[in-house]
Structure 1
Amino acid sequence: MPIRHAVMHFIDKKPDGSPAVLHLASSELPDSSAIQNLLCDVNGTYNAKTGKGWGFFHPASGAYPLSGWLGKVMIDEIAFLDFTRTGAEHLTKLMEELNLSVGGHVLFALYTQGMTDYLMIAILQQVDTVAVAHDLTVATSRQIDTRTLHFAARINLSEWKNNPASRQYVSFIKPKGGRKSTAYFRDFIGAQEGVDAPGETRTLLKAFADFVKAEDLADDTASEKSHNLVAYAQAQGKIDEPISLDELSELMNEDSPKTFAEFIRAGEYGISECFAADKRTLNQYRRYTGRAEGMSISFEAHLLGKRVEFDQDSASLTIKNLPTQLIDQLKRSSAA
């Protein structure tokens, strides 16, 4: 993962209400194993986050200036360091306007992964840790916390440059806090949501369930394809890449690689050709589970409507072809 540019500034914003103090870096961070490890850890935490938003830039304006400055970096009109300094000043101003209580170290890293250029922007906090010295004494030290990430965004620069019609080249963390704390960082990036990742993912899973019924797939075949779908979507999520319907269709049937994609398009499900899968929706999809009053039920999602029927009015399940072991237990109990 070659890092082309990396800069870190510090916004000292204390919770006592005093004005934020911005400490600007005077130069870029030199390439080293330390910055490589830092960016790798930040990316790892970022990729593991659920509930990220996906979108694209607002038109560059006084309210959303970042994309305009970044565009000048892309054509070498301004230096990356100057871009980050201007960006950090703008971020500090937004923090002050909203009277937010916490600042942090602001990392700007432009790097290449595979054939794609990315820009990661993240606010990192420090944590106190205990270090052991060579003489076996211990002391408290402060370190960057990469395991906790609340405000970060990643911009696919190659997608932005080469596919102007794209609506998902910016991804950003959607914190669970109040709307004010959530919105300010997204406004700093200048991003608007362009893809409903949970909705797209739910629609894809619905299309897959319909496909299983239409093709009358055997249970073991449906289970295998379900596993392949989720595994592919999760693998794409780990590298922050979208699902491609054509790639997914190939996994569904190598002998007829276009069948699943053509089924989706013919069904007019309205799914984008490429979209980012929502991790939380995928995790909930694999199985239906429930436990209450001495009863525990769990079954794979693709069995619903086939071996498992749900009656919403009576809140009951009808299960066909019970496992042999369970049938034997019930027979023994009835005979006793």
Structure 2
Amino acid sequence: MVELKKIGENLEIKNFVIHQLLKTAGFKEVKKKAADGLIAISEKEQVFMGNLDKSYHRKSSPIYGIFSGENPRFRDLLIGYKLEEYDFLEFSKNVLDYYGSVLSLTPTSTGGYMILCEYTNKTSKNDFLLVLMINNKEGYVVNEKNLTLENIKNLDLSKVDVACLINLTEWANIENEEETDRITYLSFVKGMKQVSHYFMTFIDCDNKNTNSESSQRLLTAMNAFFEKEKYSRKKKSQLKNDVFAYCEERMKNKKEILLSYISQLINKDDPESFQNFAIGEDYKVSSVIGGDKAKMKQLKYVSYEGENYKIEFEKGAMLLDKTVVYDKKSNDLIFKNIPMEFAEKIKAL
């Protein structure tokens, strides 16, 4: 008999709190209603976080980034909490006050409910902090009277104003600024409302990974996906050419490269399969990809058949591995460090 796992049992929820901000678009005034205490963790909170943890990456196409350092107030508050200068409730109230000040400087902004949750994913053994803003107009998540969760089975992320998830473990493991540029420990998703700008200012999120890093993440995810699906060399080469053509056209016209479109190119029968694979914690490919022309050329597949020979290889090998070199002056193609098995066959001719 198969034992069914309960939703959220892979999570250890450490702290959970809900605050409220009241603000009307077009006005500066912000009223804050802070919770009196943390919410005791029950099955409601476990199911809520279990559903959100499961759907966060698969259904919302998060954009990955880091703290930019331009508006470090939120980060400084988080550092203070991790150094145990104050407890989670006080930390959350400080965050509430700071977000209220950001909203007051943004006339078009509106209020909502702020949910903060610190938890551990027992599978990955990583600690996370979730910051979630929701309007609750339909009363489907928050009990407005006492700022607690209602009994809900699922959270529709399209109704979320915006959410940010910080991998506290990866953030803490960063030892110097050089690593900060390479590791993305922060991600955010937004719902239907256009609130991302002032929320990103509040979190201080830089979602613009270098184009080189963004492109490399895509390439790594594609290679892993092709291996997982056991695609033939011919199929892999054709798909890489198709993706390269799309990316090249978008870069040439200075348009965004969309992961969703690439996913359709890779599998027309299941157009979301690659996207769901690539956006997870293992590869962290953002829904919008910065294109680096040199990196993207690794996708280009070269094939030529002469009268007595046939040559085919990925252009990335020529650019990165230096195993294939083209000399423009002499018009010679040079293969370096060929496998001994291949060398023995040539010697035997």
TM over 0.5: yes
Distance verdict in 2 for CA 1:128–1:51, change over 3 Å: closer
Q: Offset at 1:159?
A: 0.4
Given candidates 73, 89, 96, the residue that maps to 2:81 is 73
Question: What SS does structure 2 have at the residue aligned with 1:76?
Answer: coil
Identity of aligned residues (%): 17
Trace 1:299-314 onto structure 2 (pairs within 5 A). Answer: none
State which drifts further: 197-206 or 36-45: 197-206
CA contact (8 A) 1:123 1:152 kept: yes
Name which of 253, 260, 276 aligns with 1:234: 276
Change (3 A) 1:68 1:203: same
Q: 1:146 maps to which residue?
A: 155
Matches of 1:85 and 1:44, distance apart in 2 = 27
Give the match for residue 246 of structure 1.
Answer: none
**Deviation of 1:99 (Å):** 1.4
**Residue identity matched to 2:202:** F
Distance change (3 Å), C-alpha of 1:305 and 1:157: same
Unaligned stretches of 5+ residues in structure 2? 1-10, 141-149, 240-265, 290-298, 304-349
For 1:30 and 1:123, locate their aligned partners in 2 and report how far apart those are by CA, in whole Å.
Answer: 20
Q: How much has 1:47 moved relative to structure 2?
A: 2.0
Match of 1:19 among 17, 29, 32: 29
- State whether residues 13 and 119 of structure 2, in contact with CA within 8 Å, keep that contact through their aligned partners in structure 1: yes
Q: Tell me, yes or no, if the aligned pair for 1:124 and 1:146 is still in contact at 8 Å.
A: no
Matches within 5 A, 1:66-215: 66-114=74-122, 115-128=125-138, 146-147=155-156, 148-164=159-175, 165-166=179-180, 167-173=183-189, 181-193=195-207, 195=209, 199-204=215-220
Aligned-partner Cα distance in 2 for 1:186–1:37: 27
TM-score by length of 2: 0.55
Cα drift, residue 116 of structure 1: 0.4
Give the TM-score normalised by structure 1: 0.56
Richer in strand (by share):
1
One-letter amino acid matched to 2:276: Q
Q: 1:210 to 1:75 in 2, by over 3 A?
A: closer
Residues 58 and 191, structure 1, Cα contact 8 Å, conserved in 2: yes
8 A Cα contact 1:8 1:107, kept in partner: yes
User: Could you list the per-position Cα deviations for residues 137-165 of structure 1 after superposition, in whole angstroms to 9, with x for gaps in the alignment?
Assistant: xxxxx988831223110000000111232
Change (3 A) 1:104 1:146: farther
CA distance in 2 between counterparts of 1:163 and 1:43 reads 23
| Distance apart, 1:4 and its partner CA | 0.5
Distance (whole Å) between structure 2 residues aligned to residue 208 and residue 242 of structure 1: 10
User: 2: distance between equivalents of 1:28 and 1:108?
Assistant: 10
